[in-house]
Structure 1
Amino acid sequence: MSITSVLITGANRGLGLEFVRQFLALPKPPVHIFASCRNTDKATELQAIAKKNSNVKVIKLDVKDVESFSSLRQQLELDLGDKGLNLLLNNAGILFRDSLEEVTKETMMENFEVNVVSPLLLTKELLPLLKTAASKSNEKKLSCSRAAVVNITSKMGSLDDNTSGGCYPYRTSKTALNMVSKSLSVDLKPHGILTFVIHPGWVLTDMGGKNALITPETSVGGMIDVIVNAKDDHCGNFFNYDGKKILW
């Protein structure tokens, strides 16, 4: 199975940039890799990759600018024609670690806007393209090469795993993203669209910090393996980057 088209949000650095690199390194890379980021002029590494690879297209997208989502859909429709979009990879996110003493309405709302509302509304906007891809596929079972929404979550959003408290904005936003993803998995399955969430691990990125345990290469390599091999029983579930299930 191979993924023909993928849209990656937050592709200018960290995990998003590594996703672009590793999708390109697949034995059969996607024909279309739409790499979106908020500021394309500053995405020097991503732009350099796009110059060397004609199947990579850098797209300006601020996930907080919901009004721009329709223009993005129209742009994708022009590039994809009647084939639709196989994979939406909602990777963009922010992290506020506020303790109980520090937490504010502003940090809570911004984490929810970026980590929950934006992935949901982007999925809603691009649903026609995902439905098209699913309907035109020769595959009958769910898979990411047919049509899928994969949301990058965090184990910090797991109720079962929370033994240390704190990080109110980030934890609660990822828990909410998990619930959004679970509902999407139910609503989209009848249309042949697979939905699940992946925890990337504690990764050495700007967000993960210098004490993190694994490299972006290890994290994304594992996640792509999960994505490429995902099937019906992945639908509506929560996975670690190495493919192990995580309790909600």
Structure 2
Amino acid sequence: MLARSILITGSSRGLGLELVKQLSAANSSPGHIIATCRNPDSALELKKLAETHQNVHITRLDVGDEESYIPLVAHVEEIVGSSGLNILINNAGISPKSTRINMVKWKHMTDTFHVNAIAPLMLAKALLPQIKRAASQMDGGCLAAKRAAIINISSILGSIEENKEGGLYPYRASKAALNAITKSQCIDLRNFNILVTCLHPGWVQTDMGGKSAPLTPVESVSGIINTLHNLNEEHHGGFYQYDGQKLPW
């Protein structure tokens, strides 16, 4: 089993939905898969999964709305109880269509930072007591996803070193900020034995990635789950691709 409990944001479609699919179908499926989305009533595929897998719990969360964190935290507490929350996967994100400098607008930048960088930090803060509780269930100081982990879904487009084409200001900058947040979290949370890392899912055939992307959601998520199983001290505070390859900042 990867972990007793996992919370995934942005679970109604794309990578988030595929994560729920593969985790719920695993031979050793987590005891609780908490799948969050903005509109549970319209998340038809997710609802079907919850109907056939008792360990899938759907709960409403708009990561950009801090008020929605309050009922979420209470619901997570009801689900995981004294065992705490083992893994938080900050998957939800947005990418405006603006590309070049003559097209970017204030709102593009502020909205994208709000969802892609600020929200993952503040959600981790809100759920931190439950993540700490999960980390305390194991003896010793080892780091592993099955113990406690915050996984921030980043992007190679957030790599400053790998930026050879420019443009994409809101998305690139927000993911670079998320990488910086991940690094600070890894320092702040090491003494609590909470593993923190950021993962690039690859260029995937989702609504955001487009149909010409080389990876299917199935391929990307299969790699992500395999990588999660293998995370340890070496990966703490790092930036890795879905298949475990280390990426440059």
Give SS of 1:82's match: helix
Q: Structure 2: how far apart are the matches of 1:26 and 1:45?
A: 18
Structure 1: where are the runs of 5+ without partners? none
Give SS of 2:26's match: coil
The amino acid that maps onto 2:19 is: F
Structure 1 window deviating more from structure 2 (23-32 vs 191-200): it is 23-32
Deviations 1:77-123 (A, max 9, x none): 11111110000000000012421011000000000000011000000
Give SS of 2:136's match: helix
Alpha carbons of structure 1 residues 20 and 139: separation in structure 2 relative to 1, 3 Å: farther
Structure 2: where are the runs of 5+ without partners? none
Q: Structure 2: how far apart are the matches of 1:51 and 1:137?
A: 32
CA contact (8 A) 1:178 1:197 kept: yes
What's the CA shift for 1:211? Answer: 1.2
Root-mean-square deviation (Å): 1.0
Alignment of 1:1-80 (within 5 A): 2-80=2-80
Q: Structure 1: how far apart are the matches of 2:140 and 2:147?
A: 7
Aligned residues: 248
Deviations 1:18-47 (A, max 9, x none): 000111232311000000000111100000
Counterpart for residue 95 of structure 1: 95
Does residue 198 (structure 1) correspond to residue 176 (structure 2)? The answer is no
Q: Structure 2: how far apart are the matches of 1:2 and 1:86?
A: 9
Q: Structure 2: how far apart are the matches of 1:23 and 1:153?
A: 20
Q: Structure 1: how far apart are the matches of 2:217 and 2:25?
A: 15
The amino acid that maps onto 1:111 is: T
Counterpart for residue 128 of structure 2: 127
Q: Structure 2: how far apart are the matches of 1:55 and 1:139?
A: 29
Structure 1 window deviating more from structure 2 (63-72 vs 176-185): it is 63-72
Counterpart for residue 189 of structure 2: 188
Counterpart for residue 119 of structure 2: 118
Query: What's the % identity of the aligned pairs?
Result: 47
CA contact (8 A) 1:77 1:84 kept: yes
CA contact (8 A) 1:97 1:168 kept: no
Give SS of 1:64's match: coil
Q: Which aligned runs of 4 or more in structure 1 are off by greater than 4 angstroms?
A: none
Does residue 225 (structure 1) correspond to residue 226 (structure 2)? The answer is yes
Deviations 1:195-227 (A, max 9, x none): 000000000011000111110000000011111
The amino acid that maps onto 2:30 is: P
TM-score w.r.t. structure 2 length?
A: 0.97
Q: Structure 1: how far apart are the matches of 2:33 and 2:189?
A: 23
Give SS of 2:121's match: helix
